[in-house]
Structure 1
């Protein structure tokens, strides 16, 4: 068995695409996934499954979810080791923290090109601090801008082929993975 984390995009937002976490947990358990834990209501699932690639698990989950809930749910799967690596390479250590700064990780569905320039997405309130092949790390000053506008711009640029989580959520997932 191998530990995975699934990130579901666009569920339980604004009353749309409702997916109860208990139903989600039951669905995975019924399909032979073990130690299924959901975190928050935004579609973060930690589970154990057969040794397979994250992409294979991702495809299986996407099919299961669409069959169960009747709509497509973009699903991104990372291994436990990939999440631990994200946490170990924390690019936010140099960011002066305060209550108005929100730290985000956008997980992309397809690898990004090496020479990607996202400066056009940046504003006075929204800065991208690191890009690698599968993640984009950003900071939003909520005194100067709204989260929804920054994320809408990211969604539009990437044609919704990413899902974004607050850094605190990634930290909480990492803590559960290490327990």
Structure 2
């Protein structure tokens, strides 16, 4: 049975967008899917399911999470191989600051990629590879101009994780 990794967008932020990991697991298991695991309480989920299409998996998860949470939960699904590729690509970037990865729902157009990457500066760099955007930010990363919101403006629905979490998930879920 195929394994997928799901990344939920904008949960457990503020008082009204709560979806605890126990509820996430229950929603996925309620679909009849197996080997469900979570990491942290930020919407990182590993699962096995019989569906063969990423879009089918995303749609089913979004419906289940929406019912469980009472609000829309955009979900981005990758295969373990895709997540490993994201981590491998990160290793090729030499940057001393903070490194985040925004996972994209859809593959961006070349023009959209150019528009985003052209916003890079010496302190803030965006590199797009497939459905992942590497945001490499300087010491003042809390005031960065290149953010997940900017990624979404140019490339569509995205959710962001720091590189440490990405690498941890690769170690735990992609072996």
Task: Please say if 1:105 is aligned against 2:104.
Answer: no
Aligned to 2:62: 62
Task: Please say if 1:172 is aligned against 2:168.
Answer: yes
* Shift in CA distance, 166/75, structure 1 to aligned 2, threshold 3 Å: same
Q: Map Cα deviations across residues 53-76 of structure 1 (whole Å, 9 max, x no partner).
A: 111100100111112211111111
Unaligned 5+ residue runs, structure 1?
none
Q: Map Cα deviations across residues 119-165 of structure 1 (whole Å, 9 max, x no partner).
A: 4533553211x212311112011336525873333333345x11111
Contact 2:7 2:45 in 1 (8 A): yes
1:1-179 equivalences under 5 Å are 1-88=1-88, 90-97=89-96, 101-115=97-111, 116-117=113-114, 118-119=116-117, 121-123=119-121, 125-128=123-126, 130-143=127-140, 145-146=142-143, 150-159=147-156, 161-178=157-174
Instruction: Give aligned pairs, total.
Output: 173
Contact 2:124 2:146 in 1 (8 A): no
Output the TM-score relative to the length of structure 1.
0.85
Alpha-carbon distance in structure 2 between the residues aligned to 1:32 and 1:144: 41
Unaligned 5+ residue runs, structure 2?
none
Alpha-carbon distance in structure 1 between the residues aligned to 2:139 and 2:161: 16
Output the TM-score relative to the length of structure 2.
0.86
Alpha-carbon distance in structure 1 between the residues aligned to 2:132 and 2:146: 19
* Shift in CA distance, 81/149, structure 1 to aligned 2, threshold 3 Å: closer
* Shift in CA distance, 173/3, structure 1 to aligned 2, threshold 3 Å: same
SS of equivalent to 2:160: strand
Deviates more, 1:45-54 or 1:109-118: 109-118
Contact 2:148 2:158 in 1 (8 A): no
Contact 1:125 1:145 in 2 (8 A): no
